[in-house]
Amino acid sequence: MTVKMDLKTILVLFSVLVLATVGSAYLTSWVFTSRSAEPAASEAGALARAESDDYDPGLVWNAGQFTVNLATPSPSSLPRYIKTNLSFRVNSKAAVNELERRRVQVQDRVITTLRMTQSAQLQEPEGLEMLKQRLLAGVNELLAVRGGQALEVYLSELIIQ
Protein backbone atom coordinates (compact mmCIF):
# COMPACT_ATOMS: atom_id res chain seq x y z
CA MET A 1 0.00 0.00 0.00
CA THR A 2 1.48 3.31 -0.98
CA VAL A 3 0.40 6.64 0.37
CA LYS A 4 0.10 9.24 -2.24
CA MET A 5 0.21 12.84 -1.05
CA ASP A 6 -0.37 15.76 -3.20
CA LEU A 7 0.88 19.25 -2.57
CA LYS A 8 -2.42 20.35 -0.99
CA THR A 9 -2.25 17.60 1.69
CA ILE A 10 1.37 18.43 2.52
CA LEU A 11 0.51 22.15 2.95
CA VAL A 12 -2.44 21.32 5.25
CA LEU A 13 -0.29 19.00 7.41
CA PHE A 14 2.50 21.60 7.56
CA SER A 15 0.00 24.33 8.57
CA VAL A 16 -1.43 22.14 11.36
CA LEU A 17 2.11 21.42 12.62
CA VAL A 18 3.04 25.13 12.66
CA LEU A 19 -0.24 26.06 14.37
CA ALA A 20 0.28 23.37 17.06
CA THR A 21 3.86 24.55 17.69
CA VAL A 22 2.89 28.22 17.99
CA GLY A 23 -0.08 27.39 20.23
CA SER A 24 2.08 25.26 22.50
CA ALA A 25 4.72 27.99 22.78
CA TYR A 26 2.04 30.59 23.60
CA LEU A 27 0.43 28.38 26.23
CA THR A 28 3.79 27.61 27.87
CA SER A 29 4.72 31.30 27.90
CA TRP A 30 1.34 32.25 29.41
CA VAL A 31 1.61 29.66 32.20
CA PHE A 32 5.13 30.66 33.25
CA THR A 33 4.45 34.39 32.98
CA SER A 34 1.33 34.24 35.15
CA ARG A 35 3.12 32.17 37.81
CA SER A 36 6.12 34.48 38.01
CA ALA A 37 3.84 37.53 38.34
CA GLU A 38 2.30 36.21 41.59
CA PRO A 39 5.54 36.33 43.65
CA ALA A 40 6.34 39.75 42.21
CA ALA A 41 3.05 41.05 43.58
CA SER A 42 3.76 39.60 47.03
CA GLU A 43 7.32 40.99 46.93
CA ALA A 44 5.89 44.43 46.14
CA GLY A 45 3.61 44.11 49.17
CA ALA A 46 6.56 43.13 51.38
CA LEU A 47 8.55 46.08 50.07
CA ALA A 48 5.69 48.45 50.84
CA ARG A 49 5.48 47.06 54.39
CA ALA A 50 9.26 47.44 54.84
CA GLU A 51 9.08 51.06 53.69
CA SER A 52 6.22 51.77 56.07
CA ASP A 53 8.34 50.49 58.99
CA ASP A 54 10.55 53.57 58.58
CA TYR A 55 13.52 51.38 57.70
CA ASP A 56 16.36 53.65 56.64
CA PRO A 57 19.43 51.89 55.19
CA GLY A 58 21.45 55.00 56.08
CA LEU A 59 20.94 54.12 59.75
CA VAL A 60 22.44 50.63 59.42
CA TRP A 61 26.11 50.32 60.34
CA ASN A 62 28.10 47.24 59.29
CA ALA A 63 30.39 46.08 62.10
CA GLY A 64 32.10 43.58 59.83
CA GLN A 65 32.81 39.88 59.78
CA PHE A 66 33.86 37.95 62.86
CA THR A 67 35.34 34.47 63.21
CA VAL A 68 35.69 33.57 66.88
CA ASN A 69 36.15 30.54 69.13
CA LEU A 70 33.00 29.92 71.16
CA ALA A 71 33.14 29.14 74.87
CA THR A 72 33.57 25.45 75.64
CA PRO A 73 31.64 23.80 78.48
CA SER A 74 34.72 21.91 79.68
CA PRO A 75 38.46 21.94 78.93
CA SER A 76 38.21 18.53 77.27
CA SER A 77 35.49 19.70 74.81
CA LEU A 78 36.37 20.23 71.19
CA PRO A 79 36.62 23.89 70.22
CA ARG A 80 33.64 25.34 68.35
CA TYR A 81 33.72 28.37 66.08
CA ILE A 82 31.28 31.01 64.93
CA LYS A 83 31.59 33.03 61.76
CA THR A 84 29.17 35.90 61.40
CA ASN A 85 28.69 39.25 59.73
CA LEU A 86 26.93 41.81 61.94
CA SER A 87 25.18 45.09 61.29
CA PHE A 88 23.43 47.40 63.73
CA ARG A 89 20.38 49.58 63.03
CA VAL A 90 20.62 52.76 65.08
CA ASN A 91 18.34 55.70 65.85
CA SER A 92 20.31 58.51 64.18
CA LYS A 93 23.04 59.41 61.73
CA ALA A 94 25.06 60.70 64.68
CA ALA A 95 24.95 57.18 66.17
CA VAL A 96 26.26 55.75 62.88
CA ASN A 97 29.14 58.24 63.00
CA GLU A 98 29.83 57.38 66.66
CA LEU A 99 29.94 53.66 65.87
CA GLU A 100 32.36 54.29 63.03
CA ARG A 101 34.53 56.44 65.31
CA ARG A 102 34.54 53.69 67.95
CA ARG A 103 34.81 50.75 65.52
CA VAL A 104 37.65 49.07 67.42
CA GLN A 105 35.75 49.25 70.71
CA VAL A 106 32.60 47.85 69.10
CA GLN A 107 34.55 45.00 67.54
CA ASP A 108 36.12 44.23 70.92
CA ARG A 109 32.66 44.11 72.55
CA VAL A 110 31.34 41.83 69.81
CA ILE A 111 34.30 39.45 70.05
CA THR A 112 34.06 39.33 73.86
CA THR A 113 30.32 38.64 73.72
CA LEU A 114 30.74 35.91 71.10
CA ARG A 115 33.59 34.25 73.03
CA MET A 116 31.41 34.04 76.16
CA THR A 117 28.69 32.16 74.22
CA GLN A 118 28.53 28.35 74.00
CA SER A 119 27.36 26.64 70.82
CA ALA A 120 24.71 24.78 72.84
CA GLN A 121 23.17 28.13 73.81
CA LEU A 122 22.84 29.06 70.14
CA GLN A 123 21.05 25.77 69.41
CA GLU A 124 18.24 26.64 71.85
CA PRO A 125 15.13 28.30 70.38
CA GLU A 126 15.77 31.61 72.18
CA GLY A 127 19.56 31.39 71.98
CA LEU A 128 20.10 33.57 68.94
CA GLU A 129 17.71 36.23 70.21
CA MET A 130 19.50 36.22 73.58
CA LEU A 131 22.85 36.70 71.80
CA LYS A 132 21.41 39.63 69.83
CA GLN A 133 20.19 41.26 73.05
CA ARG A 134 23.63 40.90 74.64
CA LEU A 135 25.27 42.42 71.55
CA LEU A 136 22.81 45.33 71.64
CA ALA A 137 23.49 45.94 75.33
CA GLY A 138 27.24 46.04 74.75
CA VAL A 139 26.98 48.47 71.84
CA ASN A 140 24.43 50.65 73.63
CA GLU A 141 26.87 51.14 76.51
CA LEU A 142 29.22 52.79 74.01
CA LEU A 143 26.49 54.86 72.36
CA ALA A 144 24.84 56.08 75.58
CA VAL A 145 27.54 58.72 76.05
CA ARG A 146 26.35 60.57 72.92
CA GLY A 147 22.63 59.81 73.23
CA GLY A 148 22.62 57.25 70.44
CA GLN A 149 20.95 53.88 70.58
CA ALA A 150 21.28 50.62 68.68
CA LEU A 151 17.80 49.30 67.94
CA GLU A 152 18.43 46.01 66.16
CA VAL A 153 21.19 43.58 65.23
CA TYR A 154 21.19 42.00 61.79
CA LEU A 155 23.11 38.81 61.04
CA SER A 156 23.82 38.63 57.35
CA GLU A 157 25.92 35.49 57.81
CA LEU A 158 26.00 32.86 60.54
CA ILE A 159 28.04 29.66 60.57
CA ILE A 160 28.61 27.62 63.70
CA GLN A 161 31.05 24.78 63.44
CA–CA distance, 148 with 139 (Å, rounded to integer) = 10
- Residue pLDDT, tens place only, 65-123: 999 999 998 888 899 999 999 999 999 999 999 999 999 999 999 999 999 999 999 98
**What is this structure's pTM?**
0.65
CA–CA distance, 153 with 149 (Å, rounded to integer) = 12
Provide the pairing of β-strand 81-90 with 60-69: antiparallel
Is pLDDT at 134 greater than 50 in this prediction?
yes
- 57 or 28: whose pLDDT is higher? 57
pLDDT at 52: 44
Q: Which of 8-17, 39-48, 59-68, 88-97 shows the lowest per-residue confidence on average (mean pLDDT)?
A: 39-48
CB 159 within 8 A of CB 66: no
Cα–Cα distance list, 115 to 5, 10, 132 (Å): 84, 79, 14
